[in-house]
Amino acid sequence: MAILSTRPSIALVKTRWRKKGERTLAERAGVIGTNVWKISSEIFKHMEKEGFRFGSDRLVTDVLAEFIAFLVQLADRAVYGKLSEADRAALIGEVAGHLAATMENNQRDLLGPGEYRKPFIDLLNTRFGEYAGFAYAGAEPGYPCLRFFAAKVSDAMASGDNKWVVEQMMDIEAPEMVRLVGKLIEQTVQAGPAARPHARPG
């Protein structure tokens, strides 16, 4: 198969509240986590529709975990400058916890009882360290970062029939993921007086 050029069509879950007023970090983290899960699920569905094969349910969850790790570290970078460093760390920690619970519930449904939370958190921590080594233009990941992400997805898919997955991720899926995370953070995290200059991540 050759790479297909159709773009995924993904709308964010509601990110604006009817009532005015400051939202807690936990409330904002819940909205971010919900949308990160939705984006990951929709990217998976789009790739499946385009003819990519994911194999077993375990491989599906492995691929979703790579999507989530990429999206969460993008969110962390997008939050830079909008919150204090302490609030930023707390927010991303809440997002990770929200997603760990969601992933755990889904893996139990698909795979049965087991220890799923710790391996997922360990993966997030490992990927955060790896992604921190790449250069970014603001919150925009460069080619080496996208290539690394695409390779991790390809490894997780572990199927010989998916030779175009790296190109699909870099050219089609990842750019949409980057765009959506930028929009998500813009709508859920407002810059405030506590946001002061700090050394950039990575």
Identify the residue whose tokens are 């993904």: 10
> What sections of 112-193 are H helices per DSSP?
117-131, 143-157, 165-168, 174-188
Is the pLDDT confidence value at 197 over 50? Answer: no
Q: Which two tokens stand for residue 159?
A: 């199927």
Rounded distance, CA 76 to CA 84, Å?
A: 12
- Amino acid identity for residue 39 in this structure: I
Rounded distance, CA 77 to CA 140, Å?
A: 9
> What letter would DSSP give residue 81?
T
pLDDT tens-place string over residues 148-173: 999 999 999 875 556 789 999 999 99
The pairing of beta strand 136-137 with beta strand 140-141: antiparallel
Q: Region 80-98: what's the mean pLDDT? A: 94
Q: What is the pTM of this model?
A: 0.86
Higher pLDDT pick, 1 / 126? 126
Mean pLDDT of the chain: 85
Among 6-10, 57-61, 97-101, 123-127, the range scoring the smallest mean pLDDT is 6-10
Contact 102, 37 (CB under 8 A): yes
